Structure 1
Amino acid sequence: MKVLSISSQVVWGPVGNSAAVPALQAKGYEVLALPTITLSNHPGHGAPAGFRTQAEDMARMFAALEALGALHNLDAMLTGYFATTGQVEEVAGLLGRVAIPFLLVDPVMGDHGRLYIPQEVAEAIRAHLVPRASCLTPNAFELAWLSGHDVTDEESAIAAARALALPEVLATSVPSRDGLATLLVTPDAVHRIVVPKLAKVPNGTGDFLSGLYLAERLGHAPQQAFAAAMKTLSRAIALSTGITVLNVAGALHGS
């Protein structure tokens, strides 16, 4: 299988493509990884150095890949962090030209009650990508922002997910009586896994889960993919206790 993954790329500390791509490659998929931004590290570890992929450069890369036939017969696309509205528009244009059987949109926009990307970029994601998604993987804040519904518990998260009218919504960090819930909401079912809320979890868990879920989903039904992805994510978190970066490699290799 062949997957196009468009998100951030960091040198140290797996987030964005650095977290999602290994999850896909571990299943033997061919992954075409295109960075929207390249950084030395996640901003949570300190001020990064790096550069954005300009929209016109992204357009030229798409054109070159299309001319080579590299984007023929894609099985899926994953989108994550975007730095500019132009990037979102270029991806939307590509979706209009290239057949994508499964589109997973990870709406990397914000958390803890606020957007951390410019509002116009978030609005572009909502307008151009979310309606096309086969699966959306928001955290609780992103789910609320995209749906226009408050998300304060599992019940409200399910209502917000259903309001988006998408085939699959995988909502993370949803407040629950017993900790934090991860919910897979489809039109006819809800699957939930609840874990205790931990004091500190390394960055990148959402990006890793998106890659894990897509890797499993391409060969399995939603419920099976959800269970398998969450099992690997839990292993990564357990292996990362006391360190500042997510242990993606250890989780994927079962060590």
Structure 2
Amino acid sequence: MTNQFPQVLTIAGSDCDGSAGMQADMNTFQRCGVYGMSVLTAAVAGNSYGIFASQPMPVDFINKQFSVLADDFAIKACKTGMLTDAITIETVAQNYQKYDLGPLVLDPVIITKHGDMLLQEDAYETLKSQLIPQATVLTPNYFEAIKLTGIQIESTDDALKAAKILQTMGAKNVMVKGKHNDMTQEEVTDLVLLEDGTSFTLSEPFVNTTHINGTGDLLSACIAAELSKGTNTGDAIRQAKKFVTAAITEQLDVGHKFGPANHLVEYNF
């Protein structure tokens, strides 16, 4: 029957080197066994050394992408990536309300894993007020969780407090990703708080590698893919954590400096 196959949408920027953004999401969708499609929000010129130029997409073009996809496909879940500015975030929020796109996995893309701010303050406030309340699963990294909540996260209890604050902002389920830039640490531990109040931690060995570009994209894309297949939220998050760990552990030798996580890693979903 038409449109029965699991279909997932990424709302993200294009990273021309393929390490992150829409390209990483699409590779993950394929590995997860779902059909992926995309709404392009921006285009980035970059490589393993850094980002050298970016270009946001016009609002009319973003709107048109949403409308033509909604007219034809049965999208079962979607995820966001880089949304660049306040007007883009507002446009995405309006379209998500307008169309039935399934559960939303929101990768906030506010601050890098190294603590560098990516959004201007007006865009940050728009994300908080318009998109976080629509999130089925919110996946902030360590620095983003601190920025969003004001909680200094030094323990699992702190992460749980932060997750509860994020739920009061409207996010149904929250995954606070653990800090992973301390070369002396042995594990990376994430805290998950589900809509029903259940919480648990996920720990995997810390892998000392520079090939971690796109890990946030892989994680959120995998969660969205699993949700589209009918997997419950907790198990979708667990699967995604395992997949990302495998993608970091089995290094793909691409790029001279900060290379991609291994989107092509063998993993049985």
TM-score computed with the length of structure 2 as normaliser: 0.82
Q: Specify the alignment match of 2:121 in structure 1.
A: 119
Q: Specify the alignment match of 1:55 in structure 2.
A: 59
Q: Specify the alignment match of 1:96 in structure 2.
A: 97
Task: Note the C-alpha offset of 1:50.
Answer: 4.5
Task: Note the C-alpha offset of 1:17.
Answer: 1.4
Query: Could you tell me whether the CA contact under 8 Å between 1:233 and 1:251 is conserved in 2?
Result: no
Pair 1:241–1:133, CA change in 2 (3 A): same
* The 10-residue stretch of structure 1 (134-143 or 245-254) with the greater mean CA deviation from structure 2: 245-254
Q: Specify the alignment match of 1:12 in structure 2.
A: 17
Amino acid in structure 2 at the alignment position of 1:181: T
Q: Which has the higher contact order (CA 8 A, sep 6+)?
A: 2
* The 10-residue stretch of structure 1 (128-137 or 144-153) with the greater mean CA deviation from structure 2: 144-153
Q: Specify the alignment match of 1:174 in structure 2.
A: 179
* The 10-residue stretch of structure 1 (96-105 or 240-249) with the greater mean CA deviation from structure 2: 240-249
Amino acid in structure 2 at the alignment position of 1:228: Q
**How far, CA to CA, are the matches of 2:19 and 2:210 in structure 1?**
16
Pair 1:172–1:108, CA change in 2 (3 A): same
Amino acid in structure 2 at the alignment position of 1:246: P
**How far, CA to CA, are the matches of 1:94 and 1:105 in structure 2?**
14
Task: Note the C-alpha offset of 1:226.
Answer: 2.7
Task: Note the C-alpha offset of 1:241.
Answer: 6.8
1:135-189 residue CA offsets vs partner (Å, 9 max, x unmatched)? 0011011112222322233221111011122331122233797532122221222
Amino acid in structure 2 at the alignment position of 1:61: Q
For the residue of structure 2 that corresponds to 1:152, the secondary structure is coil
Query: Could you tell me whether the CA contact under 8 Å between 1:157 and 1:174 is conserved in 2?
Result: no
1:163-221 residue CA offsets vs partner (Å, 9 max, x unmatched)? 12233112223379753212222122213214226253431111111112222233322
| Count of matched residue positions in the alignment of Structure 1 and Structure 2 | 250
Amino acid in structure 1 at the alignment position of 2:243: T
> Structure 2, unaligned stretches of length 5 or more?
1-5
- Are 1:153 and 2:155 counterparts? yes
Identity of aligned residues (%): 23
Query: Could you tell me whether the CA contact under 8 Å between 2:215 and 2:261 is conserved in 1?
Result: no
Task: Note the C-alpha offset of 1:53.
Answer: 0.7
Aligned-residue Cα RMSD (Å) equals 2.5
> Structure 1, unaligned stretches of length 5 or more?
none
Q: Specify the alignment match of 1:220 in structure 2.
A: 231
Pair 1:252–1:20, CA change in 2 (3 A): farther
For the residue of structure 1 that corresponds to 2:212, the secondary structure is coil
Query: Could you tell me whether the CA contact under 8 Å between 2:31 and 2:264 is conserved in 1?
Result: no
Pair 1:241–1:183, CA change in 2 (3 A): farther
For the residue of structure 2 that corresponds to 1:51, the secondary structure is strand
1:223-246 residue CA offsets vs partner (Å, 9 max, x unmatched)? 322332222212211222765422
- Are 1:248 and 2:262 counterparts? yes
Off by >6 Å, runs of 4+ in structure 1: none
TM-score computed with the length of structure 1 as normaliser: 0.86
Pair 1:86–1:196, CA change in 2 (3 A): same
Pair 1:199–1:65, CA change in 2 (3 A): closer
**How far, CA to CA, are the matches of 2:198 and 2:178 in structure 1?**
22
Amino acid in structure 1 at the alignment position of 2:135: A
Q: Specify the alignment match of 2:137 in structure 1.
A: 135
For the residue of structure 2 that corresponds to 1:38, the secondary structure is strand
